Structure 1
Amino acid sequence: MAELIVVRHGETEWSKSGRHTGVSDIPLTAEGEDQTRRLLADLGNRSWAVVLVSPRQRARRTAELAGIAEYEVLEDLAEWDYGVLEGHTTAEYEARRTSVGLPRWQLFADGAPGGEDAAAVGVRVDRVLERARREMEGGDVLLIAHSHVLRVLAARWLELDPRHGSGFLLGAARRGVLTYEHSLPVIGHWNVPLSA
């Protein structure tokens, strides 16, 4: 049975420091480049029906360093548009909110002011999943993108509300396997670290 492998790009300076990185085109760190060279090593020698990659350089570079010679850039795999949060940490944003008496904030429940909410990201990943499912008829499919967009994608794979993506933590240079059991969509593995 074909699998949908989802991969988060390697480390960047902003992912390392916890800053929201949506539309900014931040490169991988040296550590991020090293991570991506080992990223797919334990998956065996696979031929992909298709490889779909976010347009951001950190995702494209991850594909290249992981040994992917051919891939298609797919705009719908771009990271969440964080609006006013871009370049800031959650803690910084929460401090600003609480200083003026606003309640706590959570990205998946509340969305990004001036950017996207979970429903909007869900619309994009639904299109990605529609394409991936078609391609899986010909073999395994690889997606290389970003943490939050892939978390929403995992929720939608399971036919959950996009806001449930909050429950699918995905670290830098980590991957997941989405597949089927008895014709039902399941998560085979999630947040799998690099092999030693």
Structure 2
Amino acid sequence: MSPPGTAEVEDQLWLVRHGETEWSRNGRHTSTTDLPLTDVGVAGARTLTGPLAAVDFAQVLTSPRQRARLTAELAGFPDAEIDADLAEWAYGDYEGLTTVQIRESVPGWSVWTHDSPGGETAAQVTERLDRIVARARAATGKTLVFAHGHSLRALAVRWLGLDVSEGRRFTLDTSTISMLGVDRGTQVVRRWNVQP
């Protein structure tokens, strides 16, 4: 309970981006390619244990990709429930490419504003991440999710009720914790991109 005159704020949805992979280190778009964590990624995932162990979560969900599942396991959640809705934005023909490489043929390209041939549309990403928002809202306590850079940024803006393209305004590093919550009925960002 907050003292009189302070905001009633509740942490409801915690986001963890997976540890480093070779492609995340090199800025390559990684969705369906199921890469392992690097040694740095493993070490980063282990640093998450302390901050997360002190919290009682009603549900813990993870992307089906091994980089997210292993991060969950190393952070102390080996039984995290796999939810395909948390998978990374599917980049289609741009899988494995950097933004610089893509912009050689599509100047100004961004996943937030342009199509990815053979990949997901912003509407498809919105639809599946809205299901995660609904799961978190329906939970009787805090929800923890382990997922990816673009999908978590998109999830955050959908939590806020914004268009998925607004995810471009949030940067998100590997092995970080972010918290979304509710302040007097308004869904808010409590903390973002926090290194343990």
| TM superposition score normalised by structure 1 | 0.91
Q: Distance in 1 between matches of 2:157 and 2:77?
A: 26
Instruction: Decide which of 106, 112, 130 is 2:110's aligned counterpart.
Output: 106
**What SS does the aligned partner of 1:108 have?**
coil
Q: Distance in 2 between matches of 1:69 and 1:105?
A: 37
Where structure 2 has 5 or more consecutive residues not aligned to the other structure, the ranges are 1-9
Q: Distance in 1 between matches of 2:108 and 2:126?
A: 23
Partner of 1:127: 131
Partner of 2:141: 139
Q: Distance in 2 between matches of 1:174 and 1:193?
A: 5
Partner of 2:71: 62
User: What percent of counterpart residues are identical?
Assistant: 47
Q: Distance in 2 between matches of 1:43 and 1:72?
A: 16
Matched, 1:91 2:93: no
Q: Distance in 2 between matches of 1:40 and 1:163?
A: 31
Partner of 2:33: 24
Matched, 1:13 2:22: yes
Q: State the Cα RMSD in Å.
A: 1.2
Partner of 2:154: 152
Q: What's the offset of the Cα at 1:30?
A: 0.6
Higher helix content, 1 or 2? 1
- Of residues 20-29 and 44-53 in structure 1, the stretch that sits farther from structure 2 once superposed is 44-53
Q: Distance in 1 between matches of 2:78 and 2:109?
A: 41
Aligned length: 187
- The 5 Å alignment of 1:157-196 reads 157-194=159-196
Q: What's the offset of the Cα at 1:106?
A: 1.6
Q: What's the offset of the Cα at 1:52?
A: 0.6
**What do the CA deviations read for 1:106-161 (whole angstroms, capped 9, x no partner)?**
210113121012221111100111011111xx221100000000111111111001
Structure 1 runs of 4+ aligned residues shifted over 6 Å read: none
| TM superposition score normalised by structure 2 | 0.91
Q: Distance in 2 between matches of 1:2 and 1:173?
A: 19
**What SS does the aligned partner of 2:57 have?**
coil
Q: CA contact under 8 A between 2:176 and 2:195: conserved in structure 1?
A: yes
